[in-house]
Amino acid sequence: MAEKSQRLSHIDWMRGLACVLMFQTHCYDSWLSPEARKTAFFHVSQLGGTFPAPLFVFLAGVSFALVTDRLRAKGASRNAIARTTIRRSAEIFGLALLFRLQEFALGYPWSPWTDLLRVDVLNILGLSMMLMGVLCWFTGEGSGEVAVAERVRRRTILAAFSTATFVALLTPPLWTTYRPHWLPWPLESYINGVHTFDKPQPWLFPLFPWSAFAFVGLGVGLLLLSAYARKHADAGVAALGGAGILACAASVWFDRIPVQLYAVYDYWHSSPEFFLMRCGLLLIVLFLVYAWCRWGWAQKGFSPIIQLGNTSLLVYWAHIEFVYGRFSILPKGKCSIATASLGLLTIFLAMLALSVIRTRTKGALAKVWQARSAAARAAGASPAAGS
């Protein structure tokens, strides 16, 4: 039980870190004036913004591994696992569509109707989770037997990493020379993020390459649940951190070799080398967060980062309107660095308060529900109830 709690705290800490980086990226991007956007400060702040989306999608894969492994340990069949996981994935995708509808309604009449069909990170999270559910169905029957469960886990790890590699290798041509022009733009946008423009947009979140981060997370999560990693947790996570360093080095090496596999090569947006670099950085962050939670002060008392990670979907949803939306707490595109930083602190504290309220309200409602259920069971079991 303690091992499970510690493992979840690592995930929540990484989600919380992604939330903090997301806040600072969005706040400075929305509020800073044109003059402030020319400074090195702004460019460094946006560099940190390259982490939140890969972290969120990667952690969705890790969480998916925890869920499927727990269901498999209970003896659930692959059909039951697929139903449970795909249903939850569909809920996430439905929330993504609802979020887009909310953004359109609050931005009306200035928001174009095409924003309703924009591919955002929640959309790709839901679809990626559905695809992971399908992959887990193909990799074998669920079972509580240790030997069988290990074989299923190994097959799923291999399939997850193979799928991630396949997606990364297909991304460059699907963005350039082999774009699926024959699809309507809303569907093509899910493939390469073209939206209504004449070429794919790097600020959108199409399946290629973003779903690959989820499959890497699935593989990493299952590696952390393997028999070896359960017995040697520190060594297992350290090995992943080392693999991350090697992946970063390999990314640089592949980028420098003269052989080119693609007619159009764009390292910073669509190349497999850049994907490899980001995966390496995610593994390094995983190791650092594990070390911080394992030997540091991450779980000493109240942790704002873990708290935000517990409610990452809620704070993602809420903060957008107060940063980019109609209810922005500061004038967009008109603030100095100092003013925007004060606004960032306000957003952080407000989202932390919202997260705490959500957690405590959810806990209180759960206790009320449990009390009523217990009372109903007691009433049903009493002689008076049967008379």
pLDDT given at position 89 = 95
Tens of pLDDT, residues 41-90:
999 888 888 889 999 999 999 999 999 988 888 888 889 999 999 999 99
The rounded distance, in Å, linking the Cα atoms of 252 and 232 is 31
Of 284, 256, 280, 255, which is closest to residue 270 (Cα–Cα)?
Answer: 255
DSSP letter at 201 equals: -
Give the CA distances from residue 9 to residues 59, 187, 206, 221, 344, in Å, rounded to whole numbers and listed in that order.
Answer: 12, 37, 29, 14, 25
Which amino acid, residue 42? F
- pLDDT bin (cut points 50, 70, 90) of residue 6 is low
Asked if the model's pLDDT at residue 374 lies above 60, the reply is no
**What pTM was estimated for this model as a whole?**
0.90
pLDDT given at position 48 = 81
Helix 52-73 to helix 146-175 angle, to the nearest 10 degrees? Answer: 150
- pLDDT bin (cut points 50, 70, 90) of residue 371 is low
pLDDT average, residue stretch 213-222: 97
More confident residue, 383 or 118: 118
pLDDT average, residue stretch 93-111: 91
Q: For the chain, what percent of residues have pLDDT higher than 90?
A: 70
The rounded distance, in Å, linking the Cα atoms of 54 and 29 is 19
| CA contacts within 13 A on the Cβ side of 154 | 7
pLDDT given at position 2 = 45
Range in 114-123, 153-162, 208-217, 299-308 the model is least confident about? 299-308
What does pLDDT average to over the chain?
A: 88
Q: Are 298 and 306 in contact (CB under 8 A)?
A: yes
Asked if the model's pLDDT at residue 369 lies above 90, the reply is no
pLDDT average, residue stretch 285-304: 81
Cα-Cα-Cα-Cα dihedral sign, residues 18, 54, 317, 338: positive
pLDDT given at position 383 = 40
More confident residue, 206 or 107: 206
How is residue 216 written in tokens?
A: 């890497």
b/e per residue 296-311 (b: at least 16 CB within 10 A): eebbeeebbbbbbbbb
Range in 242-246, 253-257, 289-293 the model is least confident about? 289-293
Q: Are 74 and 144 in contact (CB under 8 A)?
A: yes
Asked if the model's pLDDT at residue 8 lies above 80, the reply is no
In the chain, where do the E strands start and end?
none
pLDDT given at position 215 = 98
pLDDT given at position 373 = 59
pLDDT average, residue stretch 323-328: 91
The rounded radius of gyration (Å) of the Cα atoms in the chain is 23
pLDDT given at position 358 = 93
- pLDDT bin (cut points 50, 70, 90) of residue 1 is very low
The rounded distance, in Å, linking the Cα atoms of 56 and 21 is 11
Tens of pLDDT, residues 124-159:
999 999 999 999 999 876 455 555 678 888 999 999
